[in-house]
């Protein structure tokens, strides 16, 4: 794993490492948090969300929600996992009643969030995933709003103080 401290961008070298990065995020997550995941098919968005679920203490995480728009899991906080892949019109996304997923006891993670630009809240932690050759994925964090700048800072601190943090999680 390599970390670029300036861009808050890192690479993971296995699905497990991506899951563990998510687990670290889940540990830092608070109610009302919104994580927007962007990146092509197979870049690891679902693996990252699976890790977030583990980090929230969720045991029953199933598979990719590709055939469902929204799934709900219960841990330390509720996790709403949304996937906008199958939605092609912004009206469909606006019609989902997204507000119900943004509340104090829940974390909301949205795959294919780029499709929802304009109807999703401006304050969020955007995570861009890119496929590099082989099993390498470049993962870039773009915090928008004070809460997410703070969270991204904590994530960066954890990773910079301890570059092996991704492997030491329980």
Ligand X SMILES: Nc1ncnc2c1ncn2[C@@H]1O[C@H](COP(=O)(O)OP(=O)(O)O)[C@@H](O)[C@H]1O
Cβ count within 10 A of residue 170: 4
Please report whether residue 50 would count as binding Mg ion according to CB under 5 A: no
Q: Which residues bind ligand X (CB under 6 A)?
A: 12-15, 17-18, 39, 41-47, 64, 111, 135, 137
Which residue from 59, 96, 63 is spatially nearest to 76, judged by alpha carbons? 59
C-alpha 89/C-alpha 152 separation (Å) is 31
73 C-beta neighbours (distance < 10 Å), count: 21
Task: For the CB of residue 100, give the shortest distance to ligand X in the complex, in Å.
Answer: 23
Q: Which is closer to Mg ion, CB of 25 or CB of 159?
A: 25
- For the bound state, the minimum distance from the C-beta of residue 154 to ligand X, rounded and expressed in Å, comes to 22
User: Which of 17, 18, 46, 126: binder of Mg ion (CB under 5 A)?
Assistant: 46
> Scanning residues 62 to 81, which ones bind Mg ion (CB under 5 A)?
64
Q: Is residue 110 within 8 Å of 102, Cβ to Cβ?
A: no
Q: In terms of CB distance, is 70 or 154 closer to Mg ion?
A: 70
Give kind and range of the element (H or E) at residue 35.
strand 34-38
């Amino acid at each position: 794993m390599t970390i670029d401290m300036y861009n808050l961008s890192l690479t993971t070298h296995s699905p497990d490492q991506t899951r563990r990065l998510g687990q670290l995020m889940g540990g830092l997550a608070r109610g009302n948090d919104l994580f927007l995941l962007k990146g092509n098919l197979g870049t690891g968005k679902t693996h990252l969300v699976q890790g977030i679920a583990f980090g929230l203490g969720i045991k029953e995480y199933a598979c990719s929600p590709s055939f469902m728009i929204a799934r709900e899991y219960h841990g330390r906080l509720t996790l709403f996992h949304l996937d906008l892949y199958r939605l092609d019109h912004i009206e469909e996304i606006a019609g989902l009643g997204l507000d119900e997923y943004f509340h104090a006891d829940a974390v909301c993670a949205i795959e294919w969030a780029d499709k929802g630009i304009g109807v999703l809240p401006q304050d969020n932690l955007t995570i861009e995933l890119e496929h590099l050759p082989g099993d390498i994925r470049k993962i870039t964090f773009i915090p928008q709003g004070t809460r997410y700048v703070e969270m991204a800072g904590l994530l960066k601190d954890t990773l910079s103080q301890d570059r092996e943090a991704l492997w030491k999680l329980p």
